[in-house]
Structure 1
Amino acid sequence: AYEDDLPHIRLGSQITFTTPAIPDQIFTARVSFIDPLINPQTRAAAIRVTVNNLGGLLKPEMLVYGTLKNQQAASVALTVPKSAVLWTGTRSVVYVKLPDTTIPSFEFREVQLGDRLGDSYQIISGLEAGEEVVTNGNFAIDAAAQINNQASMMNKEVLLKDADHSEHLPDYTASTPIAFKKQLLELTHSYLALKDALVATDPEQASTLAATMMDKLAQVDMSLVKGDAHLYWMEQQEALQAHGQQIVELTDVEEQRRQFDFLSQALIKTIKVFGIPDDTLYIQHCPMAFDNEGAEWISSAEQIRNPYFGDQMLSCGIVQETIDKNYKNPPAAMPSAKLMAGHKH
């Protein structure tokens, strides 16, 4: 039995099986032993059953096909396909289609998952029977939600209308160890290589370099930062991982550029909040990206080389900020309104 199936198997569990040698007969057996060790090559554990072999019909080494009767699976009321679930740290989320809308609309919903059942997950809470969930294209919906400041994987809380929408970042530059800052700078260097691939409009190279960046991300030692700084890094790490992996998997350069925008937002926040040990970086802005929505990116040089347009508008953009080892975030102003959670769209 594969390790994912072991939680459903108990001593005494009933198994029915057949054998091609006796095609018209179904045999019943009970699990009498479960190997406590997992085979590291097959990721499976041996299961032994005891069968009453009356008449000696069953012979050693016969081929048999067995089915485990799983009482839990029989009682599962609600499941969703694996492809419907997005992961963000400890949270599992789905997008639910809203009924009776002229334009297709979807709601961000956190769910509690139970066991994996083949290509599906059991839903413990968060969904009702009959609700429709998105199984393909959910990353695109999530990206659109982020753009519109709605609840999403990166933005669980949504700002009230007329509230202070300016972003006030924390400042952990003084307490962040140099070792952590150096790791972030190495991560940024891998990001810069990815940026250059998008400047060259080379989707294959962008995918390869995004994979390199994901390797660098995995090497960042989060134990070096503590308390609120540790929690803040975990949030940005989730965003970097989610959007970086999308660039790895996508083949269309315009879709890669959209994910690169989200990736850039997370990395810009990261280097502002934690700081860099040396070097000088430039936050650059193109006001025409994505139908004049605008987008930022990080560069190691003041000269504009636009990753969102490439040769079409290579020099479109301005230097918005300069970040060096002495950079400090401006102090946070008092918010004029509270955050509202659970906004539906």
Structure 2
Amino acid sequence: MTNHTTEHSTRGAYVNEGEEFNRDTTYIEDRIVADPTASTDGEHQLWAAEAGTYRLVAARACPWANRALIVRRLLGLEDAISVGLPGPTHDARSWTFDLDEGGKDPVLGIERIQDAYFKRFPDYPRGITVPAIVHVESGAVVTNNFPQITEDFAKEWGAFHREGAPDLWPAEQEDEMRQVMKRIYTEINNGVYRCGFAGSQEAYNKAYQRLWDALDWVEERLATRRYLMGDHITEADVRLFTTLVRFDPVYFGHFKCNRQPLTTMPNLWGYARDLFQTPGFGDTVDFQQIKEHYYIVHEDINPTGIVPAGPQLENWLSDHGREALGGSPFNTDAGATAPGPVREGEYVTPGHNPLYPA
């Protein structure tokens, strides 16, 4: 069989016909830290965390970018780091700012995020991905290393956190949390793509089994604890949520992850609704953009480009019952509080989310 490679739109994802899905995980690994001179990270170029210096480019459609939007809002970094929101679809070149007036980002003045990549690396050879952080003055990309971006938001941008910002990386839980997040990433976050972009029936069957083994593990874990690490939200919950919120609208059908919908798994479905109804989570989600991205951009999987009308979304606001397990989203004993209202200009389009009726 001819070894045919098809490029996809999700962080350098690709599939070889007859083979298992692989993901390009080579990113720009520069970091933005509180004090570059005091950092022990000698492997990467370090930039100083300064308010107003950087712009987060994060498409609502993308699960990896959605993480950054959630963490930025939970920590109250809106005044420190502005946000650019590309539209849900793109071509082979990159994400575009087609939702902005004139088709250009109002701060960076560019039509495509690739312009910021090429500003820094004129011959950049890898995927043009979001989230990306751009240095506003130079217009050059700083990093697109999505797991490090949110970890550094929590650990390195503390001087700019809002009063009452939650501790998303509790030190006493970090070792276990990293293990949990690693399994969530390899088996669930990436597992749905492994199913959707499988290059053979054998590869798909293996991917499907791995995904559902992991989802069953999380379903069991959530039977006795309100959140993945216990009584309060952490980064681990952010990382799982962005896959769960896309599961029934996209992954169940489009990626053939169809053993059962999320709504039939009592613990995961209750947990997902609990998070969705928590300020900072559901108010970043645009279901219409999510569906348009996957069903329009993935032409090899959905050649007609038809975007499904369903599923109904009102059930995301139904009672979840997770309070019975104790705990609360924010650790009030440690002074944590919910973020305030969504900032002007950062609302999800009305009708694209049950929190924002048409």
More strand by share: 1
**Normalised TM-score (structure 1):** 0.25
Structure of greater Rg: 1
Q: TM-score, normalised by structure 2?
A: 0.24
